[in-house]
Structure 1
C-alpha cells in the first residue's frame, strides 16, 4: 500500500467525506425538538383524554341527573382523597342552580361528618337550619345553602376544592372542621395517607387535575388488584373509625402531632386566603367535643401513669366536689392527652382564631356556645351522642352559633336591614321535622360504633348489627336505614303503615320530613296533602296541594283543591280549580 493510500486512510478506494459539524443554531434547534417532543406528546394525550374522558379528573360538581338545570356535588368526589378505597363516603345530594339567579344568595358549608349531620338523616344538618333562617330574612332572594360535608375527610379536602367552590359564586362560606385532621383521608395518622409528608400530598392533589395522571393512577390500581372496600363492608364488622386509624398512638407534642397542627393551619390559611382574594366572606367555627362524658379511647398508652385516663379520673373527681374550673381544665387535658386523635386538640381553636384574624374571616364561637349551654360549662352527653357528633339539640345549637354572626354580617345586612321576619330558635328546631324514626336511625348508628374500637378494647368488640333484633316496624325500618337502606323508603313505608292504622297525623309528620328534604319536588307535598286531609287539617292540606300544583300542575292536584274549595263553600275557587283540572285531563270522565 502506498504512502498516499495510507494517508487517505483507505486501501485504495476513495476517501469518505467528513460530515460538516452542525452549526450552533441547528444544535440548539435539535436539542429543543428532542426536549419538547415528549412535552408535546404529553399535552396531545392530555387533550385527547379531556375530550374522551370528561369525568376523569373527578370534578367537584356534576349535573343533577333528574334536573339538568341544577348541579350537585359529585358522588365520586371523595375518591380524590381516598387512595385505596373502593367505596369512599359521599357528599350530600343537595342541588343548586347551574346558573346563579340574579337574586340568588348562595352559601356553601364545608367540613367533615359533623357538617354532614352524622349520624342523623339529612334534615338534621346545621346547614338546613341556616337555610330556613335565611329564607325568612331574605324573602325576595333565591336562597341556596349547599352542604359539602364529607365523613372522614379533613382540611386537605377543603383546600383541594375551594377554587371550585369560589367558581360557583358563593355569597358566603361556612366552615366547621378539625376533628378528622389526623385520621381523615391523607391525614398524618390515616391509613389513607401518602408517604413523604405534606408536600407530597399537595403535589398529588395538584396532579389529579391531569387526566394523564388519573389514567396512570387507575392503571396502577388495576395492576395491584381491586381497592379495599372495608368502608363498604362495614355492615357487620369494622367501623369507619377502625378503618381510617393508622397511627393509633399520636402523643401530644410528638412529631406526628406537630405535623397535624401544621397541616391544619396551612390548609385553613390557604382556604381563607383564596376566599379573601375572591371577596367571599368566610365564617370559621371553633371546634368542640364531648369532654365530660367521653372517656379516653381504649388503648394501653392512655392508661399510663399521668396519662389521659388518669387526667379524666381527676377531672371527674373535681366535678363531683363542685370545682367546675378544675374539672373543665382536667377534662380538656384528658382530651388533649388522648393518643387516639379522633377529637381535635384545644390547640386547633387557637389556630382557627389566628387564621380568622390574619385573613379577615369571621370567628364563630361554637365551642364557647356549647360551653354556655352545658352543665357547669363542660360539654357532655346532653349535647353530644359520642365523642364529637352533636345530638339533635346540639346540631340546632351549632346552627345558631353560625346564624348569629352571619345575620350580623354585611353580606346579609345590606340585603335585609330589618330582622322582623326572624322566628324563634325553637321554631326552626321543631320544623326540621325530625321524627322518632330519624332519632332511632341515629341511635342504631351510635350503638354500632359504641361496641367497636376505639370505644372499647379490640378484644371486647361486639357485632351490634349482627345480633340486634328490632322491636317493631318503626325500629326495623330505622335499623335497616342505619345499615344503608333508603331513608326515603323507610319514611314512606312508616307513613303508609300509620295511615292504614288511622294515625294520619303521625304519617303527615313523616311526609313533612320528606318535603323539607326535597322542597322543589311535588310528590312529597301531594302525599302530605292527602295525609293532612285524613287528619282533618284542611288548611294544611290546601297549602300542600297548592304548592305541589305550583311546582307541577296536575289534574289530581287541581281536583283535590277544587273539592276542598267546595267543602268550604268557595264556589268561585272551586270552579277555577275544576276548570284547570278539566284542561289538564280533558278525557277524565270521573273528574268531570
Structure 2
C-alpha cells in the first residue's frame, strides 16, 4: 500500500507543471524587467511630449527670446551715449555730459553711408585706450588694419569704452548702439565688475544647484518662453545705481572698504555671467554679429592691491605666518632661503595674496617659471580688491560663450604669445590692466585675423603686413609728444587711484 502510494506521488510529481518557485530566475526576470523599463520610458516620453513638441515648434519657427531686463540692478537715470551734433547736421557725437570724465569724443553719421562697415566696440578703460586715449586704442588700430587690408570698403570703428564701466553698464549702451546700423559689435569686459557697491541681498540664500540648473535650462526654448511669460523673480527687486559710475576707489580711503567676502564675490561673478548672456541675446535678437574679447591683465609685475590674512588662523598660526613673512624679507638671505621662508608662510595661509605674489617672485628668481605662474595667478585670485578679472570669471565666460555659440578672442593668449609663452608683465602692459600702445596694435591685428577667420570680413590684400605697418607708423607719428606726456600724467593718477588715494570725498 505504501509502495503504491509513493509511486503515485512520484508520478504526480513528474507530470505536474513547474510552479513559479521551480522556474529559474533567468527564465522570466529579464523580459519582465525590460517591459517595466520600456513602460516607464514611454510614460516619461509621453509626459514630456508637450515640452518636446513646443521645443521643436519654437526652434523650427526660429523663435528667439527677447533680451530680459537685468534682474539684479537698475539705474535711476541714464543719459544717452550719443546725441545729435548741434546744427542738425545728421552727425551723432558723444554726449557732452559724458566727456571727458567717462568717454572720449567720437562722431559718426546718423545714417550709415553706402559701403561703410560700421563697428561699435563696447567696454571699459582698456577699450578707451587708457592711460592715453582712443587715438592709440585697439579701436583705432583695428580701423587702420581693416582699411589697409581692404581698400574697397570704408571701415569705421566707434570707441564706446567708458572709464570704470562694468558689464552691467554695457547693456543700455548695447541697446542704444543697435539703433545706429552696426555691422558688428565687439565687447571687452571683465576687469571692472568689483568697482561699485552692490549688495545682491536677495541672492544670499539661493542654492548653487538651482543656479546651475537654471543656467542649463536657459538653453531650452520652452523654458525661455515660460520665463518670458511669467517673469524671473530669482533675484527679486533690482538695486538702483546712479546713472554714471560711482566707484568705491573714486573716494578717499576707498581701498579700506574692501574686505574678503566670498558670497559677494560669487554673486558679482554670477551677475557678470548674466550680463554676458544678455549682451549676446541683444545682438542675436537684432541679427548683428558679436565678438567678445576676454581682457588681459598684468600678473608678473603688479602685486595684489590688498591682502588680508585668513580669519580662521589660530593665534599660534598667525604668529608663525608673521615670522616666516618677516624672514622672507630679510636682507642678505639667499634666494633659496627666501623661498623656504615664504613657502612656509603660504603653507600656513594660502589665501594671503601678498604671500602668494612673493612666493611667485621667489620661484621666478630661481627660474622655476611653471611654479611661479601658478602663484602669480593665485595672487591675483586672492586679491581683496580685485581690479583684475578672476580665473572663475574667465572659466564662466568661456563656458557661457561656447554654450551660446558666440565667438570670442582671449587677449591673454595674444599677449602671452608675444611674451613667448610667459605671463603678461610690464613689457606689454603699462599698469595692472592696460596694454601698451604696441600691445593695442597686437590686439587689433589679432581681432582683424579673427574676423577674417570667422568670415565677417573678406580676406585681406596680399601686402597687408606692409600696408598696415605703414599706416600704423604714419598715425603714430601724427600724435606728437604732448599726447604721450598727457598719458603719462594720467597713468600716475591712475596708480594713486588703485592705492585708494583719490581725493574725492563722499557727501
Q: 1:355 and 1:293, CA in 2 relative to 1: closer, same or farther beyond 3 A? A: same
Is 1:240–2:250 an aligned residue pair? yes
Distance 1:271 1:400 in 2: 24
Q: CA deviation at 1:401?
A: 2.8
Q: Confirm or deny: 8 A CA contact 2:150 2:461 kept in the other structure.
A: no
User: Corresponding residue for 1:521?
Assistant: none
Distance 2:486 2:163 in 1: 17
User: Corresponding residue for 1:281?
Assistant: 289
User: Corresponding residue for 1:179?
Assistant: 191
Determine which of 438, 441, 452 is the counterpart of 1:407: 452
Q: CA deviation at 1:163?
A: 2.0
Q: 1:428 and 1:120, CA in 2 relative to 1: closer, same or farther beyond 3 A? A: same
Is 1:441–2:453 an aligned residue pair? no
Q: CA deviation at 1:462?
A: 10
User: Corresponding residue for 1:354?
Assistant: 399
Tell me: higher relative CO, structure 1 or 2? Use CA pairs within 8 A at least 6 residues apart: 2
User: Corresponding residue for 2:180?
Assistant: 168
SS for the counterpart of 1:145 is: strand
Q: CA deviation at 1:243?
A: 7.9
Determine which of 243, 257, 265 is the counterpart of 1:257: 265
SS for the counterpart of 1:96 is: strand
Q: 1:250 and 1:62, CA in 2 relative to 1: closer, same or farther beyond 3 A? A: farther
SS for the counterpart of 1:344 is: coil
User: Corresponding residue for 1:430?
Assistant: 473
Determine which of 107, 121, 132 is the counterpart of 1:95: 107
User: Corresponding residue for 1:373?
Assistant: 418
Determine which of 91, 109, 116 is the counterpart of 1:104: 116
Q: Which runs of 5+ in 1 are unaligned?
A: 1-55, 78-86, 206-216, 219-226, 232-237, 464-592
SS for the counterpart of 1:114 is: helix
Q: CA deviation at 1:430?
A: 2.4
Distance 2:370 2:447 in 1: 27
Q: Confirm or deny: 8 A CA contact 2:307 2:354 kept in the other structure.
A: no
Q: CA deviation at 1:331?
A: 0.3
Distance 2:502 2:112 in 1: 49
User: Corresponding residue for 1:420?
Assistant: 462
Q: Deviating runs (4+, > 3 A) in structure 1?
A: 194-205, 238-247, 298-305, 423-429
Q: Which runs of 5+ in 2 are unaligned?
A: 1-76, 204-233, 311-320, 323-348
Distance 1:408 1:444 in 2: 39
Distance 1:142 1:66 in 2: 25
User: Corresponding residue for 2:366?
Assistant: 321
Q: Confirm or deny: 8 A CA contact 2:260 2:308 kept in the other structure.
A: no
Q: 1:406 and 1:462, CA in 2 relative to 1: closer, same or farther beyond 3 A? A: closer
Q: 96-105 or 326-335, which moves further after superposition?
A: 96-105
TM-score normalised to structure 2 length: 0.63
Aligned length: 357
TM-score normalised to structure 1 length: 0.55
Distance 1:339 1:261 in 2: 15
